[in-house]
A and B are shown apart, each in its own frame.
Chain A
Amino acid sequence: GQQVMQIPQYQHVQEGEDFTTYCNSSTTLSNIQWYKQRPGGHPVFLIQLVKSGEVKKQKRLTFQFGEAKKNSSLHITATQTTDVGTYFCAGAGGSNYKLTFGKGTLLTVNP
């Protein structure tokens, strides 16, 4: 079945430093989604990437979808303490509504 790998598992940064998490799927995806889960909270949708090579930005967050539609990355510029949480990628296979989640990257930010 479809597998989605995500690295790193943990990342601790000083406030102001950049952060990147990477996702890689074992199969070609119809789209990839990114979610953020704050400590004690539930996953909240950030963005969806659909097109090969797509790049989207949300303020300090930059999302990329690989040319082969099998990998993706999330980059945060100049992290802030409000960025703390676990970032998950989730791949969609296209023929159903199911998502396969990566293991997530827990980001902690030292003020």
Chain B
Amino acid sequence: SAVISQKPSRDICQRGTSLTIQCQVDSQVTMMFWYRQQPGQSLTLIATANQGSEATYESGFVIDKFPISRPNLTFSTLTVSNMSPEDSSIYLCSVTPEMDTEAFFGQGTRLTVV
């Protein structure tokens, strides 16, 4: 299993600014995932964060907008850059400690851009 501490839990930000979301895992994991979940919608994968290499982004998401750091096997950050109201959403980090097993999620960051 894995316990993930994600912060901040929520924030209200001005457009044009950036917000960095942090996820700390209580055990070492190979891959961490960052998702976006708009209200009432499903989870959309933003990117996969690998330790020691650049993150792998899904179609529609780019590094300049969502830079990711993965300095070690227990920690990752996602930055939402140059925010606009369209970035208002819930952002979730997730880990799957072993391939093809359950995923564990952080508590989520509810972001509102005004």
Name A residues whose Cβ lies closer than 8 Å to a Cβ of B.
Answer: 1, 30-31, 33, 35, 41-45, 48, 50, 88, 90, 92, 94, 96-104, 106
Contact B99 A88 (CB under 8 A): no
Contact A45 B41 (CB under 8 A): no
Contact A48 B99 (CB under 8 A): no
Query: Which residue from chain B places its CB closest to the CB of A33 in the assembled complex?
Result: B102
A-B contact pairs, 21 of them (CB 8 A): A1-B59, A31-B100, A33-B103, A42-B92, A42-B105, A42-B108, A44-B105, A45-B102, A45-B103, A48-B102, A50-B100, A88-B43, A94-B100, A96-B99, A97-B30, A97-B33, A97-B48, A99-B45, A99-B96, A99-B103, A101-B43
Contact A103 B41 (CB under 8 A): yes
Name B residues whose Cβ lies closer than 8 Å to a Cβ of A.
Answer: 30-31, 33, 40-43, 45, 48, 59, 92, 96, 99-108
- Closest-CB distance, B78 to chain A (whole angstroms): 15
Bound Cα distance from A96 to B98, whole angstroms: 10
Contact of A42 among B48, B59, B99, B107 (CB under 8 A): B107
Query: Which residue from chain B places its CB closest to the CB of A4 in the assembled complex?
Result: B42
Complex A-B, nearest 4 residue pairs according to Cβ-Cβ distance, in ascending order: A45-B102, A42-B105, A97-B96, A103-B42
Contact A104 B42 (CB under 8 A): yes
Query: Which residue from chain B places its CB closest to the CB of A10 in the assembled complex?
Result: B40
Contact B42 A98 (CB under 8 A): no
Contact B105 A98 (CB under 8 A): no
Question: Given A42-B92, A97-B30, A98-B48, is A92 in contact with B105 using a C-beta cutoff of 8 Å?
Answer: no
Bound Cα distance from A98 to B42, whole angstroms: 15
- Closest-CB distance, A88 to chain B (whole angstroms): 7
Contact of A102 among B31, B42, B100 (CB under 8 A): B42
- Closest-CB distance, B105 to chain A (whole angstroms): 4
> Which B residues lie within 8 Å of A31 (CB)?
100
Contact B43 A43 (CB under 8 A): yes
